[in-house]
């Protein structure tokens, strides 16, 4: 997959998640958070008011530290597609 096509599919997956009004499972949200941050090279830390949420987010980021930016985009796309295909 070309970099341009990957970027387009990633943006579409992000829009799909952001426009969905239903609730997502917490474990999916953590994975989406981590892969999104990695895919967008966003190195800012978690900003929740609850320390436990920040700990979970930090752990999720730590678990994918060796994933490349393009791989993070692919995994994010797969997570979104699989959720909407099987998760409902």
Per-residue pLDDT of 5-43, as tens digits, reads 999 999 999 999 999 999 999 999 999 999 999 999 998
Under the banding of pLDDT at 50, 70 and 90, the label for residue 88 is low
| Domain extent listing, the chain | 3-87
| pLDDT more than 90, % of the chain | 86
Q: State yes or no: pLDDT of 45 exceeds 90.
A: no
The first and second tokens of residue 80, run together, are: 């979104």
> CATH fold of 3-87, please?
Acyl-CoA Binding Protein (1.20.80)
φ, ψ of residue 23 to 5 degrees: the values are -90, 145
**Angstrom distance (rounded) from CA 74 to CA 88:** 21
């Amino acid at each position: 997959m070309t970099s341009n096509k990957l970027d387009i599919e990633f943006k579409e997956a992000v829009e799909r998640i952001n426009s969905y009004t239903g609730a997502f499972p917490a474990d999916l949200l953590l994975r989406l958070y981590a892969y999104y941050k990695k895919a967008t090279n966003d190195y800012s830390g978690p900003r929740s008011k609850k320390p436990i949420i920040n700990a979970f987010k930090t752990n999720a980021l730590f678990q994918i530290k060796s994933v490349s930016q393009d791989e993070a985009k692919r995994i994010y796309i797969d997570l979104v597609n699989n959720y909407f295909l099987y998760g409902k």
